[in-house]
Amino acid sequence: MKLWQKNYQIKDKVSQFTVGKDRETDLFLAEFDVLGSIAHIKMLESVGLLTSAELDILHAELKNIYQIAKEGKFEIKEGVEDVHSQVEFLLTEKLGEVGKKIHSGRSRNDQVLVDLKLFIRNELKDLTSEVKQLFDLLILLSEKYKDNLLVGYTHFQIAMPSSFGLWFGAYAESLIDDLLVVHAAYKVANQNPLGSAAGYGTSFPLNRKMTTELLGFEDLNYNSVYAQMTRGKTEKIAAFAISCVAGTLNKLAADVCLYMSQNFDFLTFPKEFTTGSSIMPHKKNPDVFELIRAKCSRLAALPNEISLILANMPSGYHRDLQLIKENIVPAFAEIKDCLQLTAYLLENVIVRENITADDKYKYIFSVEAVNKEVLNGVSFRDAYLKIGMQIENGDYEPIKEIRHTHEGSIGNLCNTEIQQKMQRILQSFEFEKAEKINDLVA
């Protein structure tokens, strides 16, 4: 069944190619398609395009379909083109002619737009929750290991003293900036395109502000042409948000892979969390973090993939946009999987102690020696030269007493302030308004 089909049969090969993976990806949109339809029919009744009796029976059946979708039992039957067609087919099959009335005043163009925006809004909320859970763990680890010194590197050369507290805390604060981008994506997704129809509005007296309120959107995409232009743009901005979180996980995973190697030996995990070799019995490989690193690299490419699909595309709907669903829909599951696995392993991390006691790391304390000279009244350049000559002549003896007190240093991690930053960004999402959508199926 095709909503646009008339008195001829499209060739199977053309049909299969144009439908593509819609029937698979649309399963993720089913509950949102139903919610959009409920809001739409409530609005249609309010402007006289449905009777109250028709609204009641349509609403009741849509609630049944919604429950099926929530339970993961919704199916798009063979020969049905997409989720919109399947929902209308189910309504018509059960209710007869009244089921055909739900499409008045809208197009599949604005249907899929509202489905995607509701899906992305919901996924960004879940992503925010997963980020917060990892953030809390990183802060916990930062506090737990704040006195465990670690070697800091620049250019892969030993550089200065760091600490596990500083290292874990760095990734915690990185996630806050990632959530700033997630928040921007949420704001873009949280605008209602429904009622823009095929992108040029309709002669029906629709009340678009009503559907905006019913669906818990923050605002409208007012201009109907621009509403259609947000298809692809919304997904691209959401992809940037995903890629930012992925970038933090990618770097963290790369650090872990280095720090687990015998050359570093800064941390490890119980053997049950690692994998082995088929011929080398001593191996404990960080396969999970290697896969996280690779998956997050792939996610980092996602905005570029979407940008290239959108490149040189004029305004109005084009079928190219269909392919973007295949990129963005599974990306949310992949980034959440990476967040969960990162947290799962870090909960079991084994941090090495007394790392900096090894003589090969003695030069990381050279800056401490220079700073001590400066505090005793020597100019920085003279102090630098003095300690440098000691190193050259083999006379240098490290001063391993670390006194870093400024904000964000080893001795003053500012984790409380970092937690406050996180709380402020979380409050700015205002997820509560979006929860109003649940009233449609209450």
What token pair was written down for 5? 């089909």
- What burial class does residue 72 get, using C-beta atoms within 10 Å of its C-beta: 0-12 exposed, 13-18 middle, 19+ buried? exposed
pLDDT at residue 24 in the model: 82
Asked whether residue 292 carries a pLDDT value surpassing 80, the answer given is yes
Q: Mark whether 277 is an active-site residue.
A: yes
pLDDT at residue 6 in the model: 56
- Max avg pLDDT among 266-275, 399-408, 427-436: 427-436
Asked whether residue 17 carries a pLDDT value surpassing 70, the answer given is no
pLDDT at residue 336 in the model: 98
Cβ atoms of residues 181 and 240 within 8 Å:
yes
The mean of the pLDDT values for the chain is 93
Q: How would residue 12 be classed by pLDDT, with cut points 50, 70 and 90? A: low
pLDDT at residue 4 in the model: 44
Asked whether residue 341 carries a pLDDT value surpassing 60, the answer given is yes
- For 393-429, the pLDDT digits (tens) are 999 999 888 889 999 999 999 999 999 999 999 999 9
**Stretch 327-352: mean pLDDT:** 97
Q: How would residue 273 be classed by pLDDT, with cut points 50, 70 and 90? A: confident
Q: Please name the fold of domain 117-146+163-195+222-355+414-435.
A: Fumarase C; Chain A, domain 2 (1.20.200)
Q: Where are the domains of the chain?
A: 12-104, 117-146+163-195+222-355+414-435, 359-393
SS3 221: coil
Q: Please name the fold of domain 12-104.
A: Fumarase C; Chain B, domain 1 (1.10.275)
Active-site residue, selected from the candidate residues 155, 203, 282, 406: 155
**Stretch 252-268: mean pLDDT:** 96
Cβ atoms of residues 259 and 352 within 8 Å:
no
Cα within 13 Å of Cα(305), Cβ side: 17
Active-site residue, selected from the candidate residues 15, 129, 261, 277: 277
How many angstroms separate the Cα of 320 from the Cα of each of 134, 169, 311, 407, 416? 36, 42, 10, 50, 47
What token pair was written down for 298? 């792939």
